Structures are given as structure tokens and as C-alpha cells.
Amino acid sequence: MKGKRFLVMLMVAGISLLFIVAAINAQEAGKGDIIEMKNTKAFAQHKQGIVMFTHKKHYDAKPNGYGIGCGDCHHDKDGKPLANLKAGDKVQSCFECHSKPDKPKKEQGMAEADWKKLNLSYYYGAIHENCINCHKTGGKGPVKCAECHPKPEGAAGAAK
Ligand code: HEC
Ligand code: HEC
Ligand code: HEC
Ligand code: HEC
């Protein structure tokens, strides 16, 4: 009798475990689909609304996605596109290389090439350059601040 009850308990425990594992797997699959862009190392405080970046939608094939290659955004230490990246691969964070925090300042009379270089050394500059440049040149996707940074509710000084 005792042995049988123990067996049933073991089965119940086993089945519960299966459910838990399945739930964790589902969560893993959804990770990175939409990325909350909130880099607290680059910005001590977020003054703008947090950008919810539709990561998967950007790389999914058309017509469901925008059909953009991984290498259009992810590159190696020389800036060479990581064209062979696949879903599930690990990547370095942009901030590991574009590693200056906060916002760059353009000094008066600064040569355009120097400014471009300085701007890119900041996470702020690299991320805006990547996102906005493609939206601009492709004629598709948001280029205005408030189209990416949602207005915080009732807040003054929100993105225009
Ligand atoms: C294509 C989308 C996009 C557009 C357009 C855009 N941004 Fe951003 N912005 C981002 C992303 C992504 C980040 C990175 C946030 C992070 O990872 O923490 C960011 C970060 C920032 C930050 C630093 C974090 C904060 O909240 O203080 C500021 C300031 C900012 N943007 C201001 C602007 C302003 C001003 C404009 C318009 C001139 C603008 N952005 C346009 C996507 C965008
Ligand atoms: C339109 C630009 C863009 C495309 C296309 C793109 N990514 Fe990303 N990806 C990003 C950005 C931005 C981040 C956030 C990086 C950061 O936080 O520094 C990111 C993050 C990631 C992460 C980390 C996930 C997470 O949740 O933190 C992985 C893994 C990744 N990308 C893989 C890929 C793969 C594989 C592809 C192609 C199938 C791809 N990416 C296509 C821009 C892109
Ligand atoms: C392993 C280091 C490394 C990582 C990680 C990295 N970058 Fe870069 N990135 C570079 C280098 C090196 C260059 C070339 C710099 C130059 O041309 O002066 C570059 C160039 C760029 C440029 C300019 C490209 C051009 O054509 O002008 C942008 C924009 C950019 N990166 C954005 C990003 C974004 C967004 C991410 C994260 C999704 C990222 N980078 C991740 C090293 C890195
Ligand atoms: C190589 C090109 C490319 C890059 C890089 C890129 N986008 Fe986009 N983005 C697109 C295209 C194409 C669309 C679709 C526009 C349409 O169909 O109206 C889009 C649409 C969007 C939209 C509106 C629709 C949606 O899916 O939410 C947002 C917000 C957006 N992008 C944010 C970003 C951010 C943030 C980054 C940088 C981390 C980024 N994009 C980088 C090409 C790009």
C-alpha cells in the first residue's frame, strides 16, 4: 500500500516538473522577440520613454517581418557584419564596444569626421545611428523621437 502511494506521488511530481520545464522553454523562446531597450549602464536615468524594440519582427522574413539580416545590425570587433549569425546564437551587447555612457557633445567647429568618430564611440550615438540611418535611407520606419520613445504618461518634457 505505502509503496503504491509513493509511486503515485512520484508520478505527480514528475508530471509537474514536465510542466515547469515546458514553461521555462516557452519563456526562453520568447526572449529577445521584443527587447526592452533600457541599458542602465549606459544611462543612469532614462529621461525618454523606454523603446520596445521589435527585434524578431525586424529579422523575420517578409511579409511577416521586415526581412533584415542579422549582420545589418550585429558586427564583429572590426565592424564587419556577422552575416552568418542564426537565431539562438549569442551576441555581444552593442555597449561592449560602443562603450561610452551618456550622450556625446559636439564641440563648436569640430570636423565632421571627428564628430562621427566620437559619436560612434558612445552607445547613444551607435544605437541612434544604426536605427535611424536605416529608417531614413530605407524610407521606412520611425525617425522622429516620439515614434520610438513613447511619451511617459502626463510627463512634461517628453520627446517631441
Ligand atoms: C528609431 C528609434 C529611435 C528614435 C527615432 C530616437 N531614439 Fe533615442 N533611443 C533609441 C534607443 C533604442 C535608445 C537606447 C535606450 C537604451 O538602450 O537604454 C535610445 C536612447 C535615447 C536616450 C538615452 C536614454 C534616455 O531615455 O535618457 C535619449 C536621451 C534619447 N534616446 C533621445 C532621443 C531624441 C531626443 C530623439 C529625437 C531627436 C531620439 N532619441 C530618437 C531609439 C530611438
Ligand atoms: C535591426 C537590427 C537588428 C537585427 C536585424 C538583428 N538584431 Fe539582434 N539585437 C539588436 C539589438 C539592438 C539588440 C540589443 C543589443 C544590446 O542590448 O546591446 C539585439 C540583441 C540580440 C541578442 C540578445 C538578446 C537579448 O534579449 O538580449 C541576440 C541573441 C541577437 N540579437 C541575435 C540576433 C540574430 C541571431 C539576428 C538575426 C536572425 C538578429 N539578432 C538580428 C539588433 C538587431
Ligand atoms: C565587438 C565590437 C562591436 C560590437 C559588439 C558592436 N559594434 Fe558597432 N562597430 C564596431 C566597430 C569596430 C565599428 C567600425 C568603427 C568605425 O568605422 O570607425 C562599428 C561601427 C558601427 C556603426 C557605424 C557603421 C557605419 O556603417 O558607419 C554603427 C551604427 C554601429 N557600429 C552600431 C552598433 C550596434 C547597434 C551594435 C549592437 C547591435 C553594435 N554596433 C555592436 C564594433 C562593435
Ligand atoms: C537595416 C534597417 C533597419 C534597422 C537597422 C532598424 N530598423 Fe526599425 N524598421 C525597419 C523597417 C523596414 C521597418 C518597417 C517600417 C514599415 O513597414 O512601415 C521598421 C520599423 C520600426 C518601428 C515601427 C514598427 C515596429 O515594428 O515597431 C520601430 C519602432 C523601429 N523600427 C525601431 C527600431 C529600432 C529601435 C532600431 C535600432 C535598435 C531599428 N528599428 C533598426 C528597418 C530597420
* pLDDT for position 7: 67
* pLDDT for position 151: 87
Residue 131 alpha carbon to ligand 4 centre in Å? 7
* pLDDT for position 26: 44
Q: Name residues contacting ligand 1 (CB within 6 A).
A: 37-39, 42-43, 46-48, 51, 53, 124, 127-128, 131-132, 135, 142-145, 147-149, 159
Per-residue pLDDT of 130-144, as tens digits, reads 999 999 999 999 999
**Interacting residues of 146 by C-beta distance below 8 A, sequence separation 6+:** 49, 158, 159, 160
Q: How far apart are the first and last CA of the chain?
A: 73
Which one of 36, 39, 54, 55 would you pick to mutate in the ligand 2 pocket, going by the greatest count of ligand atoms within 8 A of its CB? 55
Residue 158 alpha carbon to ligand 3 centre in Å? 28
Local mean pLDDT, 10-residue blocks, the chain (160 residues): 65 55 48 92 97 97 96 97 93 98 97 98 98 97 97 56
* pLDDT for position 4: 73
Nearest CA to ligand 2 atom 26: 32
User: Which of 85, 77, 78 lies closest to 32, judged by CA?
Assistant: 85
Q: How many residues does the chain have?
A: 160
CA–CA distances in Å: residue 34 to residues 30, 52, 114? 8, 6, 34
* pLDDT for position 15: 53
